[in-house]
Structure 1
């Protein structure tokens, strides 16, 4: 026991919680968000009021939410998991019935002055629900078919609702995030192998069906596959976005062109340069060094989350922390793979860097739950 911990009996409980917060994790999150502020300032042409200032205000609010969540006992978050999942599910149904349409998708709800994207909330509440489910379930029942089916239903119901919006990127994150919690809970690898084999068989069947009477996709959907495999086949159409992103990535070189000197973003060649494709702007202006530095910050955040998960004494704290860390990893891994042409463009923002309100606030709330697990673990 450290000198600090041995003398904490004289410190009020509230102050003890402040001392036990994982402050290195807080500073890492602030460092990543600061990189986002810098890039939003750059892509706006030096006009902070457009994107950078609103993002700073949201981050400040999000940090307050994170610290408030850290003070809530982790057992209370466990007890609220089913309620949070239910609320997110109801909001997804409300999107289906009353949601606003933007850019060809129906993903948002207008609640007074707030514009909420319920699918972002579901990414975290799904992890919480699965962690609570496996905390409740006896360990020897984890791989029983009926309980695996129950967990799969918890994942597939919101995934189906999100696919109807349509939002393929978030649907993929829900499936994979739920899979992370199931894997961490100890579900047999045979189930994961079966799912992977089924996916591989489905992909093979889709490709083989092309040009046959039983073709499984429309012609335009096959053209999207062709564009993903060879963006140069349609450089001014479907392949334009990814080709411009790859030009920006390549032109950055080792050290980059310099702050606010990126031609692809400054001349508006890059699509969605303040959201989904902001990583390409960073790579163009700061090169490999800047991109690798951001990746290392993400890796350190994951490291602190996994340390909290391994030091937790209760199953819920461990599973919810691993689930949030896994979901966070999927956020930036899918975004970076997308803009580099390693995955189809599915519209996943770069966490804490891309411009956005709902995504940032909910992600920082999720890190508040990680902090709660860290603060309230037995010492």
Structure 2
């Protein structure tokens, strides 16, 4: 019976100790809360000196912003859509015909042109040639700076038919001139002073697209006649326009941009005209008639054969020099396909003097 009161006393003692401990903890926490609240801060000190400026970052044009020139928004899709309209994209007129041959591939395939632009030559026949693409004309994704998408070739061109002279179509248009030029000199330059000339192939002529020669006003057979030849380099379209300015004007109505279809709007802006086609001043009508007249004269003399449906080609054989020169002019200007637009005064003189010379035989 004495044990029970003893236990009760112990429990009361422990209960009292616990109560004291709780009380002490409460007082301590209250002190810790009150003391900081009673401490007052003084006024702020003066600002320290500014630190040194950090180094400027690189300009956007030298960084990834450069990528946005082509890849930003819908731009790349628009360019690809325009490019899909071009004959260059299909390659049907070039790659399938000569893209694999080392002697032709520099202009007839993507692989060949890249080799030519980078190394000045094509190393050999190409097993599987492809049509042109963005990287044919542009050097892409090498440095990721402002030069990354620059054209591969922009310097004036030493033409194949005469590397002693220079054709300068101005800046970016020179890229076009590397391929769109005559592969041969006119007959009187290859065989000067001779009275006859041997046409050795049904493919004889300047080549299928000597537009740069027409624009520059060089490389054709300048037969003497009543029509004066303009001074070399005086072409309006060489000095006031350009390959790029006409063929790559702002894309509209399915023309311009990367389709390379000349934009009539660019013609109207330049000539202050209201054309619906490229026949400014009736130049195309005039040149079409002159080309047909010269063609018929060559047909009568047996220099060429064929018809409008199947096309015309030279007949292998030996001809008077004047006939060979007139043929060279006819086929080169026919395959220029601008009907005089590229250089009206030069084309008019070539055709008129060729016609006069044949009629005077």
Give the TM-score normalised by structure 2: 0.28
By relative contact order (CA 8 Å, sep 6+), the higher-ranking structure is 1
Determine which structure has more spread, i.e. the larger CA radius of gyration.
2
Give the TM-score normalised by structure 1: 0.27
